Structures are given as structure tokens and as C-alpha cells.
A and B are shown apart, each in its own frame.
Chain A
Amino acid sequence: MIAKAVKATVAVMIGGVLLNAGSFDVQAEKDRQALVKYFMKKFSDPVKNRGQFFPYATEEDMKNIMPVKKVEDFRLGSYAFSKVGRSQYEEINEMPPYEDDIDAGEELYNGTKGIKECFPDPAIAGEYPKFDEKQGKVVTLSVAINDCLKAHGQKPWKLTKGKIADLEAFFAAKSKEAGKKVHITIPSKAAAEAYERGKKAYYAQRGYLKLSCANCHVQGSGNRVRREYLSPLLGATTHFPVYRLKWQGLGTLERRIKGCEKNQGENPHKPGSQWVSEILYFMAYMSNGLPVDGPDIRK
């Protein structure tokens, strides 16, 4: 009887503590777990799940789509499940084309006024986008770098490629080396509202094509647009900046989003705008707990 009462109190206390510590991310955490469940089920047994998740797949597709066993594997995007994509990916990664960019990023880290003061620990790629309570808004890593430059009397960099991507490549490499995981927090009500706006933007049908990001990267993931297998939302932000063969160089998340807004038939939002930062905040939260894996390569 007493034991039972004690157990109940302990349970209530644990519940209470959890509620206090993380009460602003309750909804986000529910969303994340539901997404993980969806993708683990979808890719657990593609052949068995064909009717439900890959209704229009060809026989060739079914031969190519591998089961995904570990949630960590989703950091690989479409290479988590595409056999052909994966082997091409591994081939290119034997001689990673972004090594020089990491070195360039390290030089920028050591040689750019203010950067070391703003980011004393470079292994922070998994913590952005962050909700900045003082400014009352979401800042992505790219935006945080530019805020730092401005605070030290310097001209901001382009948010999509070039120096910013090199510096982020250095941050990502350091984070990966240190075994860091994606760790996005929602510390306040205002942060939770920003998360909700980002989520809404992700699921909204936009552009003249009336496609949502989710049409292609949730339901559509594992299916193809032309010959491209669509990557899952889960893991979508873990490995940036990315060296894309199409770009012949590195790009930030801001750069990638721009291209996908064009896929929706939409004029892209400005990099650094509230819309872009909040959609990235939502996307990164969905990858919480996955390893930081940047920089990486994509087609």
C-alpha cells in the first residue's frame, strides 16, 4: 500500500519535473516521435509496405529500395534507402571534395575578427537554429555568424555559399569529430510559436504548383520525381553544409531551401528571413538526437 503510494508520488514527481523542464516542447516532441515512427515503419520493409507507401513504384524501384534499420541512417537522406544512390555516394566520399573547404573554414575561424569570441567552442553545428530570447526570434547558424560579424564592425557574408559555407563546414566537422548530436531546444512560449509557424509553412501547399514540402519529403519520400529519389524530412538538416555535384561547391541550408521553393513553383523567400529561419527550426527539431554528419555530399 505504502509502496504503491510512494511509487505514485515518484511518478507524479517525475511527470512534474518533465513538464517543468520541457513544457514548451511537448507538442514538438510528439511531432518528432510520430515522424520517427512514420519513417521507421515506411522503410522497415519496403516490399511488404509497397501498397501503402510506394503505390506507384516499379519493379526496378522495389529492387533498389533497401530497408532502413536504424534511425541514425536517415542522416544520409535518400542514400539511406537507395541502393544505387548509396554506392555512388560511397564512391565519391572516398575522395571527399569538401576537404579544402574545411581547411578554409578553419582559417576563417582563426583569422576573422570576433568569430572566436562569438563561437569559443566550434563544435556547435547541432545546436542551430536556435531561438534567441533577447532578439525574440530564430537564428540559423548562418544568421548567427553574420550577426557576429556585424557586432564586430564587419560586413556580413553571403548567407548561401562561399565563406559562410566554409566556416560552417569547419563547425560541422568539429561537431562530428566530437560525436555531437542534433540538439535543438524550445525554451519558451515564443519559441514554441516560432516552431509552430515553421511546421505550418512546411505542410502548407504553396506556389502555383500547390505542393507542400511534405508532399515530396514526407509522403513522397522514397518515391521519385523524374529519376531523383526524394529524401525524408527526418535527417534533412543533419549534414549541412553540403557539397552538391550540381553546384560544384558547398552550400548552406539556406541555399538548398531556395532550390526547393523553386520546385514548388514559388519565388523563394529571402535567406535569413523569418520564414526561412523558422521552417529550418522545425526541420532541425525533427532530427533531434541524430548525429551531426556534415559536411557531406549530395547529387
Chain B
Amino acid sequence: MQTKKLFLAAAVAAGMVITASAGGNADLVKEGEKIFNTKKIGNCLACHAVNGKKIDNPGNLGPKLQGLSVWPEQALYDKIYNPYTTNPISAMPPFGLNGVLSDHQIKAVVAYLKTIK
């Protein structure tokens, strides 16, 4: 009885943790996707198509984004924060450096980029 209860509690707890983290991450991905596709916020689609996602008329000033799921989160964060660190003549705007996107918003975009195959 005792063990059963304990087990149940543990399972529930574990389940909750899992859902919470999955739900939290899913929310973050969703938020990042919205930033990516909204003109007034990230407007990333102005320049980027995305492999495997349906984007409404993406531009091609930047490369089609693919394989980003294998990039380290920090590298993605840095690219969005300030692309000049790795490419001094990048035509991509520095969204963190110039204060367009907050730390939290960049993390949300990174979460979304990590879903790109």
C-alpha cells in the first residue's frame, strides 16, 4: 500500500515534471516561432526560408535555414545576438546588440530554431 502510493506519487510527480518541461518548451518554441514570423518583432522570414516548415513567402537575402537542431544553443544565441562576431560583413541585423529582441525573446527564437531539421 505504502509503496504503491509512493510509486503513484512519484509517477505523478515525474509525469508532471515531464509535461511541465515539455509544455514549457513547447510554449517557448511557439513564442519563438511567432517572433520569427511577425513583421514588427523578429521578421526573420523577411530573409529566411526554413527547411520543413510552412512559411508565408519567405525572402532569400539570407540562407534557407536547415540543420539548426544540431547547432549548439550558444552558437544560435550568438548568431541572433550579434552575427558580426562570426561574420563581420553579415547583412543580418544584430537583434540582441541593437536591443530589438530581449534575452528571453532570443532564447525563445533559439528554442524554435532547435526544431529545424
Q: Is A56 an interface residue (CB 8 A)?
A: yes
User: Interface residues of B: mostly helix, strand, loop or mixed?
Assistant: loop
Interface string of B84-117 (1 = CB under 8 A from A): 0000000101100011100000000000000000
The docked-state distance in angstroms from the alpha carbon of A48 to that of B45 is: 27
Number of interface residues of B (CB under 8 A): 18
- Number of CB contacts from chain A to chain B under 8 A: 49
The answer to whether B99 and A56 have CB atoms under 8 Å apart is no
The answer to whether A220 and B91 have CB atoms under 8 Å apart is yes
- Interface residues in B42-75 by Cβ distance below 8 A to A read 45-47, 49, 57-64
Number of interface residues of A (CB under 8 A): 21
Q: Which residue of B lies closest to A61 (CB)?
A: B60
Contact A223/B100 with A209-B93, A211-B93 known, Cβ cut-off 8 Å: no
User: Which residues from B are CB-within-8-Å of A208?
Assistant: 93, 98-100
Q: How many whole Å from B20's CB to the nearest CB in chain A?
A: 35
Q: Is A225 an interface residue (CB 8 A)?
A: yes
The answer to whether A226 and B59 have CB atoms under 8 Å apart is yes
- Interface residues in A54-85 by Cβ distance below 8 A to B read 55-58, 61
The answer to whether B61 and A56 have CB atoms under 8 Å apart is yes
The docked-state distance in angstroms from the alpha carbon of A208 to that of B58 is: 21
Q: Is A219 an interface residue (CB 8 A)?
A: yes
User: Which residues from B are CB-within-8-Å of A33?
Assistant: none
The answer to whether B100 and A226 have CB atoms under 8 Å apart is no
Contact A209/B64 with A224-B59, A226-B45, A227-B57 known, Cβ cut-off 8 Å: no
The answer to whether B100 and A209 have CB atoms under 8 Å apart is yes
User: Which residues from B are CB-within-8-Å of A226?
Assistant: 45-46, 57-59
Q: Give the top 9 A-B pairs by smallest Cβ distance, nearest first.
A: A209-B93, A227-B57, A56-B60, A225-B59, A224-B59, A208-B98, A215-B91, A56-B63, A224-B60
Using a CB–CB cutoff of 8 Å, the interface residues on chain A facing chain B are: 55-58, 61, 208-211, 215-216, 219-220, 223-228, 230, 265
20 A-B residue pairs with Cβ-Cβ distance under 8 Å, sorted by A, are A55-B63, A56-B60, A56-B62, A58-B49, A208-B93, A208-B98, A209-B98, A210-B93, A211-B91, A211-B93, A216-B61, A220-B91, A223-B61, A224-B59, A224-B60, A225-B61, A226-B57, A226-B58, A265-B93, A265-B100
Using a CB–CB cutoff of 8 Å, the interface residues on chain B facing chain A are: 45-47, 49, 57-64, 91, 93-94, 98-100
